[in-house]
Structure 1
Amino acid sequence: MTTGVFIDGAAGTTGLEIAARLAGRSEFSLITLADDRRKDAQARAEALNDADVVILCLPDDAAREAVALIANDRTRVIDASTAHRVAEGWTYGFPEVIGRDTVAAAKRIANPGCYPTGFIALVAPLVRAGLLPVAWPYTCHAVSGYSGGGKALIERFAREPGIAWRGYALEFGHKHVPEMQAYAHLALAPLFAPAVVAAYRGMVVEVPLALSIIPGAPDPALLRDALRAFYAGSPVVSVADDLPEGGEIVLREGAPAWDGLRLHVIASADGSQARLVAELDNLGKGASGAAVQSLNLISGLPETAGLVL
């Protein structure tokens, strides 16, 4: 018996990437709408209610409207928007952090944001273990490929090929911050400084730590060991042993899709400073790959089926 899946917003970047990961998989049958019916409310409502699983690849308001159109208690939802990430009754779709069984049992799953995926993966296990404080003013510097901004930003980079780096959220209050704080179990909102570069995909998220002034902060090796223990056995998340090859991390234009997540703890020689760094694909574990991982779990399938690892 196949699982009927409707991707609402299938023509967008995330939707297209999800469909690509499901292509050729006999476990799923895609429910599709013709182009002239994609915005027809009745047609969408029928598809939403016919599906076993709906994956929403929509703006926030449209995602809320789509959920309201579901008139049964059978259809399960994976929402790739920001709309429900800290909403009551929704499960955060980060199985390595939230728990695979919790995600597998969920009826409503909120896909994590791309930047929060890196930040939470680095910080949540260390705060949970008591190795880093709950009440600390963490900073998160991050850079992403421009595809994370959707069609509008992709088109802008095509129109303005001279853009090399685009810093944004300079007014603070970025919509990713609430989930970063909530799922990293922090008393204070992190200072979040995102940017976009002239690469289509890829992402690096960094949390710098002045360990010498953090009360009770451990040796960086203990931070690395704790992350390695937390993600032991994960087929998706890995923890690097040492410095990246060549002593640098590079985002490349034209990089292939990747659904993994690689973490680093990079420390100064005297252990007084450390840089927690996450490498991921903003369209992979940061979006479409994460949605497919959750889809696999709620369907009782191996979590890595169809993923690019």
Structure 2
Amino acid sequence: MNDTAAWLGAAWDRAESVQVVDGGEDRGPIDGRAVLAEAQRPSAPQEFSAPQEFSARQEFSALRGLTTAGRFTGDICRCHGGLTIVLRDSAGGIIGSGSVHGYDTVSWERSRFRDDLVVSDPAGLQLLLAEIGVPHRLASFHGPLANLLDLRGQRPQFRPAGKRGRSYLSERRVPGVLWPALLTVTGEQAGELPADRIDDMRHLLAEVMPSPADRATALLTWLGRLPVEAEASWGEGVLVRQLLAEAPRSAPPADVPPADVPPVDVARAVLVAAVAVARGAEVVMGAVNLAVHGGEDADLVAAVAPALRALFPPGDAVQR
């Protein structure tokens, strides 16, 4: 056991609560930051064996297990991290802290030990953080999914127009009914199409795919196969995200005042249902793309979590 591991075990033994606060090493004093989630030590010992068995009463032990098991690197990440995990004693004093870096790394007492921990179950950690209320956790899967699907470094950055673009549309599994319209523009131009042309595409797609769930699955697959970062973010990715937002918000029943019943986003409900039954990595990447561009919510996290759990089992990061 190295010095970092010895300190870490003793620090968690002393801790009576754990907080997740906003910001990494460059955010300033911990006590001045927003608390995103908090868990108290349970009055009785809690066993934690696997993230899928996590319950609200296991938050403390789950956080301990997922942020202390792994491989110490003997070095540090050069970024500042985006979150900080804070251990507090019974009086509320800070025992120590660790910054969360990217998808799979926690740097405990970084300036003291300079010894990052690559955790054994990064997917479990990120999904747990999302479960207890920490926002933007699906975005942390963007890099691992891009690597899994080999979406990085592809050339050209944007799909060409005309005959040269046909192979790209085929590889991306773009519905054939949309090919004639898409081949008149490049991938970059597809992200700049006016609203009336996007509406035309919606109608064409609905004619050949009457089921909203089928359309959502097809569009998520397309979105999840786009190269990162250019095409997925600024090219066809813009178009697909607009096509996914196809349904208007439904009105409440006629006999209920609108102010008393918030409208339901029909398109969102269909999309979440499609994600929940799909297990392909492309569909999952499509959902994560939506989350990266501001579409993350608790329903989407819950829907995509089982597929992420299957794609990235415990031990995955340490083995790579």
TM over 0.5: no
Structure having the larger proportion of residues in strand: 1
Structure of higher CA gyration radius: 2
In the superposition, the TM-score normalised over structure 1's length comes to 0.28
Structure having the larger proportion of residues in helix: 2
In the superposition, the TM-score normalised over structure 2's length comes to 0.28
